[in-house]
Amino acid sequence: MDSNHYILKDKKVIVVDLMTWADWVEKEKGSRIVKQETLPNGKWVSTVFLGLNHNYGEGLPLLFETMVFPSAKGLGAELDVDRYSTYEEAEKGHSVLVQKWSLKRKAIKGRRIIK
């Protein structure tokens, strides 16, 4: 079995074949979201299940990803990214990036001011 395709079932990762993965991705689009939120400073933090291994070297598969964007509409310009192997790590990682980016303030007059 190809070990590059994964689905989530009750927060547990399951290795599947390509066709099972493709069917799951099509039918369970909302199931890929771990957590998404807009911070008070306007930054948008999104943590999702990728379904594919993004670890291209040795070690555990990286199956979850948190990305930080300037806003919910600024999806093309990520400010930060981190990847994880488990659902629990993804939840913790989401909280870490929320904390980190909550401390950063909005740009004022074209300059970025950081606490």
Domain boundaries, the chain: 32-102
Q: Which helix (H) or strand (E) holds 12?
A: strand 12-15
Per cent of the chain over pLDDT 70 is: 84
pLDDT for position 75:
64
What pTM was estimated for this model as a whole? Answer: 0.83
Q: What is the DSSP string of 20-42?
A: HHHHHHHH-GGGGEEEEEE-TTS
Q: How far apart are CA 39 and CA 71, in angstroms?
A: 9
pLDDT for residue 110 is more than 70: no
Sheet holding 80-84, edge to edge: 33-38, 44-49, 64-69, 80-84
Q: Which helix (H) or strand (E) holds 18?
A: helix 18-27
Q: Determine the average pLDDT of the residues in 86-100.
A: 97
